[in-house]
Amino acid sequence: MSTENTNTPAALQGLQNSNSSVRLKAALAVGTAPDPRCVDGLIQRCAIEPEFYVRDMLTWALTRHSAKITVPKLVKELRSERAQARSQALHTLSKVGDRQAWPAITRGHLTDADDEVAQSAWRAAVVLVPEAEKPELADVLATQLGRGGRETQLSLSRALIALGEAVEPALRTAKTHSVSRVRQHAIATERLLLHPDAVFEFALEEAKRIVALGPSRQEE
């Protein structure tokens, strides 16, 4: 007699359903009653799930399982050729919060050509980085200043700000960069660091004016 049905939790079958509501309920069921046999299926689904809210539930379900089981598998997923697989693994690692995953986040992830992967890497990195390595991380993140559109830039600014005082030298250097877009983003980020209640768009517009007025204003 086959044992396939016994060894494969029924909830995993729901993750394959064409109806996103069914997939959402399946992920919720797995998270509500964690089963180590489901971890591989959850991670595999993260890599291909098209709906954001279902992916979010998959991540939640993974956080409900032991980090000893999930973290090694998620770290392995960081080497996937599929961008969504890397992005979701990084996102989930940031939610798990196990700093043993820190060495697996490479410069390649932090500078990934895919914006979703890079943003997930930034968020995970600032959560997992050891205190002593914050300045080095800040230097790497600063190389991405000026990248992408509003959402990407705001995501990077938030990551840099999360590093606190460790980011200040990197921002000072970036404010003298030869590319005006980089200088603008650095100044805007510094404004947000000094004034947490400031609105990013306003800070960026002010930064553009400062850059346009020249070096003397950038020192203010």
What tens digit of pLDDT does each residue of 10-53 get? 878 999 999 999 999 999 999 999 999 999 999 999 999 999 99
Q: Same domain, yes or no, for 71 and 178?
A: no
The widest CA-to-CA distance across the chain, in whole angstroms, is 81
Q: Same domain, yes or no, for 116 and 23?
A: yes
pTM of the model: 0.88
In a domain, 74, yes or no: yes
3-state secondary structure (DSSP) of residue 148: coil
Residue 94 CA to residue 102 CA, distance in Å, equals 10
Q: Same domain, yes or no, for 109 and 59?
A: yes
Residue 59 CA to residue 74 CA, distance in Å, equals 11
| Enclosing domain of residue 208 | 134-212
Residue 216 CA to residue 213 CA, distance in Å, equals 8
Q: Same domain, yes or no, for 20 and 124?
A: yes
Q: Same domain, yes or no, for 40 and 68?
A: yes
Q: Same domain, yes or no, for 24 and 103?
A: yes
Q: Same domain, yes or no, for 139 and 57?
A: no
In a domain, 148, yes or no: yes
Residue listed under structure tokens 């998959």 = 58
The per-residue pLDDT for 215 is: 62
Q: Same domain, yes or no, for 182 and 157?
A: yes
Identify the segments of the chain with pLDDT beneath 50: 1-6, 216-220
- Say how far residue 219 (Cα) sits from the centre of its chain: 32
Q: Same domain, yes or no, for 120 and 169?
A: no
The per-residue pLDDT for 201 is: 72
Q: Based on the structure, what is the number of domains in the chain?
A: 2
CATH code assigned at 36? 1.25.10.10
Q: Same domain, yes or no, for 89 and 151?
A: no
Contact between residue 142 and residue 134 where contact means Cβ atoms under 8 Å apart = no
Q: Same domain, yes or no, for 91 and 186?
A: no
Encoded tokens for 61: 């379900």
CB atoms within 10 A of CB 83: 17
Contact between residue 17 and residue 23 where contact means Cβ atoms under 8 Å apart = yes
The per-residue pLDDT for 205 is: 78
